[in-house]
Chain A
Amino acid sequence: MPIVVGYVPTPEGRAAFDRAIEEARLRGLRLVVVNASRGDALVDPRYATSDDWASVRDRLAESGIEHETAQQVAAVDPADQLLRVAHEANAELIVIGLRPRSPVGKFILGSSAQTVLLQAECPVLAVKAAPL
């Protein structure tokens, strides 16, 4: 029954990651960090760079909690990939980052957070970026 966190290299994503570590420590659970991309564009800023991903691993090693990392490219939306990982691991909690979106932007592009919130089989903890 691990905690699954959707990691994105943005302030929201980092906030979610920090909170997930905290939750995992609190509950004494394993933490699964997922970073995903559809891989259909040449450049995806939401796909962690190798340096960034290495720093995530360092953070996890430092924290001393039991953990697992998965960086994957598949033909479905990152939100669906996160849900699949959570389903397969039988997750107790999903942690995601939330960012402010304009109604129009959300209408056109959809929202990964919404997909996760509505379709997850377990409770979802949504974290906002720390105010600057």
Chain B
Amino acid sequence: MDGVSSLLDGFATAITPINLLYAFIGVLLGTAIGVLPGIGPAMTIALLLPITVSLEPTQAFIMFAGIYYGGMYGGSTTSILLNTPGESASVVTAIEGNLMAKRGRGAAALATAAIGSFVAGTIGTLALALLAPVIVKLAVQMGAPDYFAVMVLAFIAVTTVLGSSMVRGLASLGVGLLIGTIGIDPTSGQQRLTFGIPELADGIDVVVLAVGLFAVGEALWVAAHLRRAPVEVIGVSNVRMTRDDWRRSWKPWLRGTAIGFPFGAVPAGGAEIPTFLSYAVEKKLTKHPEDFGNGAIEGVAGPEATNNASAAGGLVPLLTLGIPTTATAAVMLGAFQTYGIQPGPRLLDTQATLVWGLIASLFIGNVILLALNLPLATVWARLLRIPRPYLYAGILFFASIGAYAANNSTFDLWLLLVIGLLGFLMRRYGLPVVPAIIGIILGPAAEKQLRRALQISNGELGGLYNTWFSRAVYAVIVILLVAPPLIRWIRSRRDAGGTPIAQHHANVEGQ
């Protein structure tokens, strides 16, 4: 079966009323949480994990993917109207987008963001549909050492790329890997880090972990910083673009797509880097350099297209290799595991209806998102008036229900509190949460591949890099580790001034 005919089958799955409904709920919810800063798709999907018990996998994943895409759309609204990025992927949009809004061009900024997201999302999803079968063909030939190498790449990329410091990223990854080892060792049957507590023998449920780190951690963090003066929202009338806006936007959309998709597809830590890259490219290529710094439409169109394309790209490794590159993908992987579905190269064969239905529903979701966001952007901005105590009380309520429902045990509620406290402390001390969640969810899988590779080679360490593929991946890892400090060293010798963009790398939740 090639991609196109499978995709048509997928449309048959996605177009059923019930699946359409879940796609609609997903994108609606996704846009809402995208608009609200601090609440991201990863947290939302984590909160919704318990419903997987009563939902068919196809429907659940259609909804989750809708949330993932919707979050990317919604984030831009907050960035443009408030200068507060709703999502980490929209940080760059805030730079030019808010300036445009301040000059009374907010409507055009919102429009170019929504249409650009649509264009990039559609092209990205098409690329996903075409690329996935090809990668699967390669992936079935991958052995345990290759898998382990790719997973190490994912770990390293996520830790070095996100956040301000590599040491903090590695510390956070270490926390995640440590938590991931709690429970019975699958190979030897020995209990690890359970401290004799029988409830820990099964490991910590992924719902408790994800909800604790994201939802409870964030709620405590917000509670600790509750009062601040309200931000000014910039009013916008009807969302429309002039002929000139179209002319200046379409190239950045396409360039953004081209930048975002590959970055999403390789394990490189999500949409942050490519959106910065897209901004830099547009700034260099623009015919209106005088506009940059006081509201250039290219600076909105490019990055917004990029973050949606990278969301599509991020689904490639998730669906073909079972390797998440973002926090949201990691939580979705957790959802696959709760269904007992093993994500990996065989997923496309064993769960063809699910995967192709999911991909087809992404096309549909994109259309719904365009229809929801273009005329309603200012309506969405009204969500920001919700007092945070109500919002976070609701989140904590759902978090507790979810954690309790996972195993019907009060022990999990205590665990939820402890992990939530950990999430709070990580935010307090500037440790990014994303490496931790990827470590927790991918860690056990990586361990399995590591031990399998070592068993095959009889404990020889050489068994970890005896294929050309794994060697190539390790080479990339070395470059990733060595290049940034090297570049920094060269830059400091050249004594370039600090870039203003760097400070925007604030403590925003990963997408």
A residues sitting closer than 8 Å to B (CB atoms) are 37-45, 47, 49-50, 73-75
Contact = CB atoms under 8 A, between A and B. Distances in A.
B230 A37 contact: yes
Contacts of A41: 230, 384-388
A74 B227 CA distance: 7
A39 B384 contact: no
Contacts of B388: 40-42
B229 A75 contact: no
Contact of A47 (B229, B386, B387): B229
A45 B385 contact: yes
Given A44-B385, A45-B385, A39 B230 contact: yes
B226 interface: yes
A42 B232 contact: no
Contacts of A74: 227
B84 interface: yes
A50 B102 CA distance: 13
Interface in B177-232: 226-232
Nearest to A40: B387
B37 A39 contact: no
B227 A42 contact: no
B233 A43 contact: yes
B39 to A, nearest CB: 11
A78 B234 CA distance: 23
Interface string B289-317: 00000000000000000000000000000
B362 interface: no
**3 cross-chain pairs, A with B, having the tightest CB-CB distances, nearest first:** A44-B230, A43-B384, A39-B227
Interface of B: 36-37, 82, 84, 226-233, 381, 384-389
Interface of chain B, helix or strand or loop or mixed?
loop
A26 to B, nearest CB: 33
A43 B231 contact: yes
B381 A43 contact: yes
Given A42-B84, A49-B232, A50-B232, A75 B227 contact: yes
Contacts of B228: 39, 73
Contact of B227 (A45, A47, A50, A73): A73
Contacts of A49: 232
Nearest to B81: A43
Contacts of B385: 41-45
A75 B201 CA distance: 44
Contacts of B82: 42-43
Most A CB within 10 A of own CB, among B37, B233, B381? B233
Contacts of A44: 230, 385
A50 B232 CA distance: 8
B231 A42 contact: yes
B82 to A, nearest CB: 7
Nearest to B35: A42
A39 B231 contact: no
Nearest to B232: A49
A42 B388 CA distance: 8
Contacts of B387: 38, 40-41
Nearest to B84: A42
Contacts of A47: 229-230
Contacts of A75: 226-227
A39 B229 CA distance: 5
Nearest to B36: A42
Contacts of A73: 227-230
B128 to A, nearest CB: 34
B456 to A, nearest CB: 54
22 contacts: A37-B230, A39-B230, A40-B387, A40-B388, A41-B230, A41-B387, A42-B36, A42-B37, A42-B82, A42-B231, A42-B384, A43-B231, A43-B233, A43-B384, A43-B385, A44-B385, A45-B385, A49-B232, A50-B232, A73-B230, A75-B226, A75-B227
A40 B389 contact: yes
Contacts of A37: 229-230
Nearest to B234: A49
Most B CB within 10 A of own CB, among A40, A42, A43, A44? A42
B113 to A, nearest CB: 19
A45 B232 CA distance: 8
A42 B37 CA distance: 9
B424 to A, nearest CB: 19
Nearest to A39: B227
A14 B74 CA distance: 34
Contacts of A40: 226-227, 387-389
Contacts of B233: 43, 45
A131 to B, nearest CB: 24
Contacts of A45: 233, 385
A73 B226 CA distance: 11
A40 B386 CA distance: 8
Given A40-B389, A42-B37, 14 more contacts: A37-B229, A39-B229, A39-B230, A41-B385, A41-B388, A42-B36, A42-B84, A42-B384, A42-B385, A43-B82, A43-B232, A47-B229, A50-B232, A73-B227
